[in-house]
Amino acid sequence: MDQIAGIRLDPSGTAAFLAEADLDALAGPVAAVAAELTAGTGPGSGFLGWRDLPEQVEEADFAAIEAEAARIRDLADCCVVVGIGGSYLGARAVLEALGGPAPGAPEILFAGTGLCPATLGRVLDRVAGREPALCVISKSGTTLEPAVAFRLLRAHLEQRYGAGGAARRITAITDARRGALKTMADEEGYPAFVVPDDVGGRFSVLTPVGLVPLAVAGLDIRALVAGARAMRSACLNDDLRANPAHFYAAQRHALYAKGFTIEVLSSFHGGLGQLAEWWKQLFGESEGKQGKGIFPATAVMTTDLHSLGQYLQDGRRCLQETFLTVRRTRGELVVPGQGEGGRDLDGLGYLAGMPLDEINQRAFEGTRRAHVAGGVPCTAFELEEVTPFTIGALLYLFEQAVAVSGRLLGVNPFDQPGVEAYKQEMFRLLGKPGA
């Protein structure tokens, strides 16, 4: 497939497992699902706001977010993003992919991602003695994990700066009209941004949920949205083999029908590890319903070839694998020569002068060949380089793909009824009134 928005899909590692007819048979169903999504109909139709987000972020939106980000940067040397699931995974994925905050921008920390006291304690320890700000993200303000973290962190700020000083250091991203966090923001005067009603958490990275923390980090949110906009245009293509999101969705669905029920997203770029975690939530929460769905797992290569590699090569043959690779990263890093002594004790003389980008690419190619030979169908997404533009494009590609893939399974890709089960049991054990 041709490169689109700096990304190329290579399905060659699935040729031994799928016939052309397998994909041709899905062209009609994919087109029907795509038409439903465009028309705003079908299961979960009230949560399709993400589809047009790249076109709907206007100059006034960018300006408001960038102004708030500048205010926070003037005030703080670290910013704690408080949220769980889709309220933080997208921002964290983009932040890590792009190498962290820009020079001089605040350090970005994350809290409310679980209930481990040691983890939250470390965040509190790291903000002690510094100049912190909080970016709290929740539609309701009552989700247990971020609500507990926010209560502790807010108390820390109020103890240091007083109620008024603390309020200046808190930015809320929440519902437009209702909820505990919305009420608190109104009463305390927190600057606030809106989570759109028609965008679910795991699809919210291109709303203020993702854009505000990334702007605080000094990253180029305009280029991020531009990349998503370019991929959105490509995803309107009716030709299955020219539409990377639809082709990916069809291919993984066809493999699922043949018994490949676990998908491993394997990154050959260490900075894409958190993006893979975002992908894991996106696909797991969207598809895992009614006893159906591909189980999503992740690996970072070549690191995990020394742990999961044995299972990937020789374990149960229910695996399909999708690779994320990057063509150009740090071209100046090359393997040194042997030095003055001329002794090749480590046996790496044959690599002398070779760029690490090229070595990593050969490691990917070798891994793909070995896994295909071992019975694992492999797809690859190759990014020309990691930039805000290409990451924005990749995020949108996966969002469109999971919407199509979920509908092909016959489930609603935009709800998460199973998430409530653990909460009800937990609340009963904690003695929550009415639980």
Please check whether residue 82 is in contact with residue 153, taking contact to mean a CB–CB distance below 8 angstroms: yes
DSSP symbol at 195: P
Please check whether residue 211 is in contact with residue 221, taking contact to mean a CB–CB distance below 8 angstroms: yes
- Taking Cα atoms as reference points, which of 127, 166, 120, 178 lies closest to residue 147? 120
Residue carrying structure tokens 């893979």: 276
Please check whether residue 360 is in contact with residue 268, taking contact to mean a CB–CB distance below 8 angstroms: yes
Helix/strand/coil for 299 = strand
Active site residues: 285, 306, 423
Q: How many CB atoms lie within 10 A of CB 95?
A: 24
Distances (CA, A) of 104 to 97, 101, 219, 388: 18, 8, 12, 19
Task: Measure the CA angle with vertex 156, ends 155 and 158; round to 5°.
Answer: 60
What are 48's two structure tokens? 């399709």
Task: Calculate the dihedral angle through the C-alpha atoms of 261, 298, 21, 400, rounding to the nearest 10 degrees.
Answer: 110
- Taking Cα atoms as reference points, which of 169, 183, 180 lies closest to residue 147? 180
**β-strand pairing of 319-328 with 7-13:** unpaired
DSSP symbol at 334: B
Please check whether residue 352 is in contact with residue 336, taking contact to mean a CB–CB distance below 8 angstroms: yes
Q: How far apart are CA 60 and CA 63, in angstroms?
A: 5
Domain ranges of the chain: 7-42+225-409, 52-222
- Taking Cα atoms as reference points, which of 91, 54, 41, 31 lies closest to residue 414? 41
- Taking Cα atoms as reference points, which of 299, 310, 301 lies closest to residue 262? 299
- Taking Cα atoms as reference points, which of 285, 402, 270, 401 lies closest to residue 324? 270
Residue 340 has a pLDDT of 66
CATH of domain 52-222: 3.40.50.10490
Domains 7-42+225-409 and 52-222 share a fold: yes
Instruction: Provide the whole-model pTM.
Output: 0.96
Q: How far apart are CA 297 and CA 264, in angstroms?
A: 5
Please check whether residue 279 is in contact with residue 405, taking contact to mean a CB–CB distance below 8 angstroms: no
What are 183's two structure tokens? 């009420």
Give pLDDT tens digits along the chain (435 positions): 889 999 999 999 999 999 999 999 999 999 999 999 999 999 999 999 999 999 999 999 999 999 999 999 999 999 999 999 999 999 999 999 999 999 999 999 999 999 999 999 999 999 999 999 999 999 999 999 999 999 999 999 999 999 999 999 999 999 999 999 999 999 999 999 999 999 999 999 999 999 999 999 999 999 999 999 999 999 999 999 999 999 999 999 999 999 999 999 999 999 999 999 999 999 999 999 999 999 999 999 999 999 999 999 999 999 999 999 999 998 889 999 876 667 888 888 899 999 999 999 999 999 999 999 999 999 999 999 999 999 999 999 999 999 999 999 999 999 998 887 888 888 887 888 887
CATH topology of domain 7-42+225-409: Rossmann fold (3.40.50)
Which run of H or of E encompasses 379?
Answer: strand 378-385
